[in-house]
Amino acid sequence: MTLHLIKLGVGVDDLAHMRKLQEARRKERRQKPGTPHWTFTRNTPKRQAELLEGGGSLYWVIRGVVRCRQKLVGFDGQVDDEGRPYCRIKMQRKIVPTAPMAWQAFQGWRYLEPARAPPDLSSGDSADLPPEMAAELKRLGLL
């Protein structure tokens, strides 16, 4: 069974900004070309087999709206300089835009059942609505 994760993209303005931030982080980390992008989390998902074997993705909530996803490729347990454990969530670099879907804020990450995940956008669709339009659509309950 496929299972996904959902996480907030804190400090991210839109998809273009997310691409730029992720590229800068990979450069800062001196990651080699072709290596997966990764993000940190305090708690390690316990349902890793379902997430990886089913082709799960990490869906990103940007400014209160699910906007994109990245396919999961692995997890690494790590320990920081102060001895606290954390998890590194590894995902493909490719960012796949999804149909915008409003989502309330939460901390950390959550499991996301496939039935609740927004569909990918078709080619030619745009996930980057002007902020004013997105805010008005959200106010009307359409996003």
- For residue 143, the model assigns a pLDDT of 57
pLDDT digits (tens, 9 = 90+) for 43-100: 999 999 999 998 999 999 999 999 999 999 999 988 888 999 999 999 999 999 999 9
Is the pLDDT reported for residue 34 higher than 70? yes
Nearest to 64 by CA among 95, 96, 97, 104: 104
- For residue 22, the model assigns a pLDDT of 95
DSSP 8-state assignment for residue 115? G
User: What percentage of the chain exceeds 90 in pLDDT?
Assistant: 67
| Length reported for the chain | 143
- The sign of the torsion formed by the CA atoms of 86, 91, 53, 123 equals positive
- For residue 64, the model assigns a pLDDT of 92
- For residue 141, the model assigns a pLDDT of 67
The DSSP H or E segment spanning 48 is helix 48-53
- For residue 121, the model assigns a pLDDT of 85
- For residue 54, the model assigns a pLDDT of 85
Using an 8 Å Cβ cutoff, are 77 and 69 in contact? no
Half-sphere exposure of 97 (CA within 13 A, CB side): 15
pTM beyond 0.85, yes or no? no
DSSP string, 13-40: -SHHHHHHHHHHHHHHTTPPTTPPEEEE
